[in-house]
Amino acid sequence: MIALALAMTAVLAGCGKPIALETAYENNAAITSYSYFVDFNVKLSNAGEVEDTAVQFNMNGKLSSAADRIKTRADVSAVVDGEPMKFPVYLDTSAKEFDFDIFVGIPDVIRDSFAGKTDFYLSSAQLETLMQLALTPEEYKDFENTLQTYSELGTRSSGLSAAIESSVQSYLTNNSGKIQKFESLEGKKVSENGTYSFTLSKEDLKAILTEFFSNEDNYQLVKDEYGAFIARLGQEAFDEFEEMPDAETLIKEISEAMDALKALDLNAEFTIEDSYITGLSLSFTGIDDTGEQIDLAFTLLLSDINKSVNITVPDKNADTNLDIVALLKDALPAQQNG
């Protein structure tokens, strides 16, 4: 009887080796269009001393990329401390250059304050104008230099992201027996479908960070990005931010900070369908030594992968747009460059 049950399970699930999560991840990198749903919830609890804070946020949308441009549309719903808001968002951006148009629908609860207007609008060109108004000539020159090295910064950030992914992936692989679980999807081939679940404790997370910063190249990537971040903030930031400690000291400080936490747990589940990652679920809980707690839950679902997606971005010259630069201009302390 047991042998028969196992045989039937094999037939229903399909024969073959379970698809690797890395394979599905690589397949997702080649996706050009999809529909998506995002749900994000975070709650801060203060052990009764201060009122809890809660934020709920979700998006239903579509994305399409072609000819080095990415277009996306999403219907956003948010609840902050019990106050609901709904609005659409459109984004048309270059995949390689500092060039974008973004439209954010004005929520109903505040639309009466902007008679006749339906969307906040901001473009990359307008952002440059806003920076000219807000910054001194010297600060704006630094901003221009940042734009000129946009590609370089993106390359460095991509290198850091790849290093983080590689380090986490290595830990998950080397400790798969302890933290990883694979389950098949009923009636589908495991060579193309399944779920991977991971449970990371405080000790696991500490080990990942220790291993990451113990690699000299990884440490240097973070140090370079940290230095670039401070440089983009301007000269005054150098007096406010401490220099990044050496790797050994940094690892010790991270370890001590994590040891002081009462709890730190991360659970993740990836759903793979037809060799693509179509679902990601994350839950995180952290409790510090004072009892203050943060609970975070995140869900991402993909569908209509590589199907035709038509996204019509609003007219950027429409009278119903509210120019963000015009809105913020009067709030600036000084028109230093205008």
How would residue 333 be classed by pLDDT, with cut points 50, 70 and 90? Answer: low
- Of residues 298 and 125, more confidence is placed in 298
pLDDT, tens digit, for every residue of 148-201?
Answer: 555 454 555 668 888 898 898 889 889 988 999 999 999 999 999 999 999 999
CB 229 within 8 A of CB 156: no
Please classify residue 330 by burial: count the beta carbons closer than 10 Å to its beta carbon, then call 0-12 exposed, 13-18 middle and 19+ buried. exposed
Cα torsion angle, 215, 219, 222, 225, sign: negative
Query: What is the rounded CA–CA span in Å between residue 213 and residue 91?
Result: 36
CB 291 within 8 A of CB 47: yes
Say yes or no to pLDDT of 145 above 50: yes
| Percentage of residues in the chain having pLDDT higher than 90 | 51
Cα torsion angle, 239, 259, 166, 304, sign: negative
Among candidate residues 317, 322, 323, the one with its CA nearest the CA of residue 118:
322
* Token output for 192: 């193309």
Furthest-apart CA pair in the chain: how many Å? 83
Mind spelling out the 3-state secondary structure of 59-121? EEEEEEEECCEEEEEEEEEEEECCEEEEEEEEEEEECCCCCEEEEEECCHHHHCCCCCCCEEE
Query: What is the rounded CA–CA span in Å between residue 232 and residue 300?
Result: 32
Determine the residue type at 172.
L
Say yes or no to pLDDT of 325 above 70: yes
pLDDT at 5: 35
- Give CA angle at 143 (137, 144), nearest 5°: 90
pLDDT, tens digit, for every residue of 34-77?
Answer: 999 999 999 988 766 566 788 899 999 999 998 788 999 999 99
Please state the rounded mean pLDDT for residues 134-157.
64
Query: What is the rounded CA–CA span in Å between residue 131 and residue 325?
Result: 9
How would residue 273 be classed by pLDDT, with cut points 50, 70 and 90? Answer: very high
* Token output for 267: 């659970």
